Structure 1
Amino acid sequence: MKITFLGTGTSQGIPVIACECEVCSSVDFRNQRLRSSIMVEQNGTNLVIDTGPDFRQQMLTNRVKQLDAVIFTHEHKDHVAGLDDIRSFNYKQKKDMPIYATAQVIDRLKEEFSYAFAAQKYPGVPTFEVKEIFNKPFTVQNVNIEPVEVMHYKLPVFGYKFGSFAYITDAKTISETEKEKLKGLDVLVLNALQVKEHISHLTLEEALALVDELKPKKAYFTHISHYLGHHAEVEKMLPDNVSLAYDGLTIHL
């Protein structure tokens, strides 16, 4: 299994528009973050989790030629806004794109992209094969996936577990039942927005405490804002088994 971090930034990305802070002005490529997303490649199947506003750029940058399905964590714009660009894969692969999401997310996608779900479609719009998922394991082609429900303030969000790898984004709290799914992994990815307290995202301190509790062999932090600080400086403060993810990072399991 190969995981590629397509984007590791929060909803505004880094650099933030019109911001002149040291992080947004940095020339270190690791401080330049598109909106959060990953690609999972396993058994010849390519899956993307979330299609944020930077989806087109992420596909071009990583030279993705095949996409077998999209899996959504939740319905916020920074995770769904690039869905229209799926049509390029529709044309190339000559089939509808399977999209996996909860009923709540599907309903929101149908509102946001109503033209793509209309009974009479305008020529050239993206086309989808909609798959509703629940908090129980499912399979996409030959890839087994287990959802992990977390809370983004009051909004339920799905993270996903692929064997010994799990990807959690936009979490603030996780129930004890769901934490059981995350214990003793080879690799755990968590959001770590910033140092200061936030109403709907884990802080750096909270993310580190969760890593200490769940005890993965390796952890990566994502969904990072410019308030967290310089990549290189934050890295110096982290335990040996924890790293900040960055755009373009790949890991193999």
Structure 2
Amino acid sequence: MRVTLLGTGDTTGTPTVGCDCETCIEARERGVERTRFSVHVENEATGESLLIDASPDFRHQFLREGVPLPDAVVISHIHFDHLDGLGNAYRLFDDLPVHAPSEVDPVTEESVADTIRRKYDYLDRITVHDEAPFEPFRAAGLDVTLVPVDHPPLLCYGLRIEDPETGGTLSLSGDTSYNVSDESLRVLADPDLFLADAIVPASLCEHHPLGGRHHDADGVPQTFGTKHMTREGALAMAEGIGADETRLVHTAHFYPADEAFAEPLAVDGEVYEL
């Protein structure tokens, strides 16, 4: 399967609109982007493709990368930078299957699948499929499993995607703190490629009102505030699950310019064959 990173940024992306920080300036000079998060997975055996999260930058991403429109979509959670691109289904699809978690969120009192049905009730071009965590399902000819992660206050999910023909595996941490259950980590384990949420380096935790959490043995915070992993936390999780290759995604423009484009931070347009 061919994996294309359509969007590797956080909720504002890099460059951020109206921002003249050194990182945003350098991104413009380099001609690189980190738009809102989305991943395209092409099943080369069947000619189908799967979209992981529907970025608000959907139109721009697909025009820029020239990848096929998806045959199915998986939504990890209901934050706008992962969901609101679904509106692009209007006039582009006859019927687009959208797979989403069925677990009811105690905060919203509805599942991710139910939220999509309610929010996009005007779109008769999408069909929402409820999927239970830890129960594999088939989408675009690929085997997909949703796993709960930790992104308070709402439920959020990571994913494991496996190509049944080649055995290639892709794991995504989803938007999460470092506090992921052992059960979820077991499902995510041993991927060929791991896409890990790494919003900022641990050094920036001192600027968060809540600081950092989940410190390692050396006192380095692996969670920034409560919702996202630090770079150090993401790399520790990658090592813990035995990832063959790791790319850090959902990164913010708050990375210092001398760190913002260093390995293994991803930028939009990267392609991987698994």
The two structures have a TM-score, normalised by structure 2, of 0.79
Matches within 5 A, 1:1-253: 1-26=1-26, 27-30=29-32, 32-42=33-43, 43=45, 44-90=47-93, 95-103=94-102, 104-116=111-123, 127-135=125-133, 136-163=135-162, 164-172=169-177, 173-195=179-201, 196=205, 197-230=224-257, 233-234=259-260, 236=262, 243-253=264-274
Q: Secondary structure at the match of 2:10?
A: coil
Q: Larger deviation: 128-137 or 138-147?
A: 138-147
Alpha-carbon contact 2:158-2:172 (below 8 Å) kept = yes
Alpha-carbon contact 1:7-1:38 (below 8 Å) kept = yes
In structure 2, distance between residues paired with 1:176 and 1:249: 30
Alpha-carbon contact 1:153-1:199 (below 8 Å) kept = yes
Aligned-residue offset at 1:184: 2.3
Give the length in aligned residue pairs. Answer: 233
In structure 1, distance between residues paired with 2:121 and 2:143: 30
Q: Secondary structure at the match of 1:233?
A: coil
In structure 1, distance between residues paired with 2:246 and 2:67: 25
In structure 1, distance between residues paired with 2:155 and 2:54: 18
Q: Secondary structure at the match of 1:74?
A: coil
In structure 1, distance between residues paired with 2:112 and 2:190: 30
Q: Secondary structure at the match of 2:157?
A: strand
More helix as a share of residues: 1
Aligned-residue offset at 1:115: 2.3
Alpha-carbon contact 2:50-2:140 (below 8 Å) kept = no
Query: Could you tell me which amino acid in structure 2 is paired with residue 206 of structure 1?
Result: G
Aligned-residue offset at 1:63: 1.9
The two structures have a TM-score, normalised by structure 1, of 0.86
Percent of aligned pairs with the same residue? 30
Q: Secondary structure at the match of 1:14?
A: coil
Alpha-carbon contact 1:150-1:171 (below 8 Å) kept = yes
In structure 2, distance between residues paired with 1:233 and 1:178: 30
Aligned-residue offset at 1:185: 2.0
Aligned-residue offset at 1:154: 3.5
Q: C-alpha deviations, 1:28-68, integer Å up to 9, x for none?
A: 234x2110100001121111111121011111112234420
Q: C-alpha deviations, 1:147-191, integer Å up to 9, x for none?
A: 222111232212211232212221112101111112222211101
In structure 2, distance between residues paired with 1:49 and 1:41: 11
Change (3 A) 1:16 1:235: closer
Alpha-carbon contact 2:195-2:248 (below 8 Å) kept = yes
In structure 1, distance between residues paired with 2:56 and 2:132: 25
Q: Secondary structure at the match of 1:89?
A: coil
Query: Could you tell me which amino acid in structure 1 is paired with residue 192 of structure 2?
Result: D
Alpha-carbon contact 2:54-2:82 (below 8 Å) kept = yes
Q: Secondary structure at the match of 2:56?
A: coil
Aligned-residue offset at 1:209: 1.6
Q: Which runs of 5+ in 1 are unaligned?
A: 117-125
Aligned-residue offset at 1:141: 4.1
Alpha carbon RMSD of aligned pairs, Å? Answer: 1.8
Q: Secondary structure at the match of 1:23?
A: helix
Alpha-carbon contact 1:67-1:89 (below 8 Å) kept = no
Q: What is residue 105 of structure 2 aligned with on the other side?
A: none
Q: What is residue 210 of structure 2 aligned with on the other side?
A: none
Moved beyond 6 Å, runs of 4+: none
